[in-house]
Structure 1
Amino acid sequence: MKKIAILIENLFDERELIYPYFRLSEEGYEIHLVGSQKDTAYNSKSGLTETSTHASKDIAAKDYAAVVIPGGFSPDFMRRTKETVDFVKEMNKLQKPIAAICHGPWMVASAVDIKGKNITSFYSMKDDLVNAGANYVDEEVVIDGNIITSRSPDDLVPFVKAIIEAVEKD
């Protein structure tokens, strides 16, 4: 069974974590909620609590088929943890799918050289991504190599479809 890591930290967007969690579970993937700490309760923007199943320091990219990075403010917390950044860097080195939605590309920009990459995000992050060298594209799903990005919860259905297609290609 293929494993997919969904990163979690405080102030995650609940839709961007919950929808991929259940859709990818329905497809038969084993889903791990990976935070900076294992068995830790993290709060969403609206107060929903979800608990991590794994700590980023305890996992290896070689064991995962993909990583999903939900938005909200959580990507800013994710990139403060070296082991989480290192995990995403290693996923990129292995050319495994890195899927980030809304503010998730903050984490991508901290872990991956995005110069010249086509990327989308929540519109307010356009300047951040352009200043990091990315080509900002305003589309529901943008795929550039192993990087899959979407703009907002409105794009969740095509975002998760793109993740499934990428994981099934491997």
Structure 2
Amino acid sequence: MSLDDKHVAILVEDGYQELELHYPRLRMLEAGLRVSVVGAGKPEYASAKGYTVKADVSADAIDANDVDALIIPGGMAPDKMRRHRAMVDLVRAVHARDRPVAWICHGGWMAVSADILRGRRATSFHSIRDDMVNAGADWRDEEVVQDGNLISSRTPDDLPAFCRALLEKVG
């Protein structure tokens, strides 16, 4: 199966961090993957700075069996994402299929809510370290941490390594 046959879903909610959504989205498109922006039910979402992005599909309408990798950008959006059962269920279902689940910054909150961190190495923005550790993660302060199908990074500065790791895992 070529990268052209792969489908990457990117979660979105209001308050998303611009670079953490658009940089991976563009890198995945550039590599030839099909990319869907997955929202909580609204047609459009605003970033922390007011930039908007349109959702391609709602989390309750996407089939996890059609997702080859899932990206969770940070900002304050993950705190809103985890209030939507369909979004949390999608993270859990993609993880259960052993497909890559990748997050950056505060995106780790979705991994906490999906209960997929126990006994796994991961990273995040430093301010949610305690949440990650309390959810069972072996938290590391590294630009990218891979543990099986989980890929995580800390901040926008880590995006090049984050995208390389995800593309390698998907390919």
Verify same fold: TM over 0.5. yes
Which of 1, 6, 27 is residue 2 of structure 1 equivalent to? 6
Q: What amino acid is aligned across from residue 56 of structure 2 in structure 1?
A: T
- Give 2:159's aligned residue: 156
- Give 1:145's aligned residue: 148
- Give 1:136's aligned residue: 139
- Give 1:104's aligned residue: 107
Corresponding position: 1:19 with 2:27: no
* Distance in 2 between residues matched to 1:157 and 1:121, nearest whole Å: 15
Give 1:12-91 correspondences, 5 Å limit.
12-37=16-41, 40-91=43-94
Deviation of residue 129 (structure 1)? 0.8
* Distance in 2 between residues matched to 1:126 and 1:140, nearest whole Å: 14
- Give 1:167's aligned residue: 170
* Distance in 1 between residues matched to 2:114 and 2:135, nearest whole Å: 12
- Structure 1 stretches of at least 4 aligned residues deviating more than 3 Å after TM superposition: none
Alpha-carbon deviations, 1:117-136, whole Å to 9, x = none? Answer: 11100011111111111111
For residue 104 of structure 1, give the secondary structure of its aligned residue in structure 2.
helix
- Give 2:118's aligned residue: 115
Q: What amino acid is aligned across from residue 2 of structure 1 in structure 2?
A: K
TM-score, scaled relative to structure 2:
0.95
* Distance in 2 between residues matched to 1:67 and 1:46, nearest whole Å: 24
* Distance in 2 between residues matched to 1:161 and 1:59, nearest whole Å: 25
* Distance in 2 between residues matched to 1:103 and 1:67, nearest whole Å: 15
Q: Any conservation in 2 of the 1:92–1:112 contact (CA below 8 Å)?
A: no
* Distance in 2 between residues matched to 1:108 and 1:131, nearest whole Å: 12
Q: Any conservation in 1 of the 2:92–2:116 contact (CA below 8 Å)?
A: no
CA RMSD of aligned residues (A): 0.8
* Distance in 2 between residues matched to 1:102 and 1:8, nearest whole Å: 14
TM-score, scaled relative to structure 1:
0.96
Report percent identity of matched pairs: 46
Deviation of residue 113 (structure 1)? 3.0
